[in-house]
Amino acid sequence: VSDAENWFCECPKLYSGKLCQFMTCDENPCGNGATCFPKSRKDAVCLCPYGRSGILCSDAINISQPSFSGTDVFGYTSFLAYSTIPNITFYYEFRLKFQLANHHSALQDNLIFFTGQKGQGLNGDDFLELGLRNGRVVYSYNLGSGTATIISKPLDLTLNIHVIHLGRYLQKGWLKVDDQKNKTVTSPGRLVGLNVFSQFYLGGYREYTPELPKGSRFKNSFQG
């Protein structure tokens, strides 16, 4: 931009300097293998790897039991990421136990686990996810021809530990929560195989933006 006497650069977001030559993470302040992510033109956020914490990920921590606190002050979530689970195209079965954090937000709109194709371009819409919404367990999957969803009855909050058993064979899925009756669903369309390529995310999701793939609508990560 120029006027009669001078000129200056209007830098795009995350860049600075007279010629917009600097980016916040050029001189990475994050240590121990952390990922530097620009928060503003002058500020960055360090996304710490497993076993590290602190503003610059300089603190070593010993994790003996996985725990997830939801979204942090910077808007990012903690999570565990496992390699893509093999052999779940036509059949899978999961059993898990969890304890919820003792506050209302842990029951509102929280992702427990997810794997999928990200719903972009030619990758398709296949996904598998489990979460909590309004005090109920929500289990959904898409085999490429429409989403199937099972919603449990409200959780019994007098229980300290909750138990979930879910699975799928071809188009038919099932969900059992605590002492509730087993519920089933059949996915729409003709496709019978689940084709997912992402890692298996537990407790949250790695993307810097909170949007999950098409069909995945949980806004927050797990708290518990």
Predicted pLDDT of residue 209 = 44
- Phi first, then psi, for residue 68 (nearest 5°) are -125, 130
Rounded CA gap, 99 and 101, in Å? 7
Q: Are 142 and 215 in contact (CB under 8 A)?
A: yes
Predicted pLDDT of residue 141 = 94
Rounded CA gap, 100 and 9, in Å? 50
Predicted pLDDT of residue 181 = 97
1-63 adopts what CATH topology? Answer: Laminin (2.10.25)
Below-50 pLDDT ranges, the chain: 120-121, 208-211
Rounded CA gap, 59 and 51, in Å? 8
Decide yes or no: CATH 2.60.40.1510 for domain 80-221: no
Prediction pTM value: 0.74
The domains of the chain are located at 1-63, 80-221
Predicted pLDDT of residue 210 = 42
Predicted pLDDT of residue 6 = 63
Predicted pLDDT of residue 41 = 63
CA distances from residue 146 to 70, 167, 171, 213 in whole angstroms, order as listed: 29, 17, 11, 14
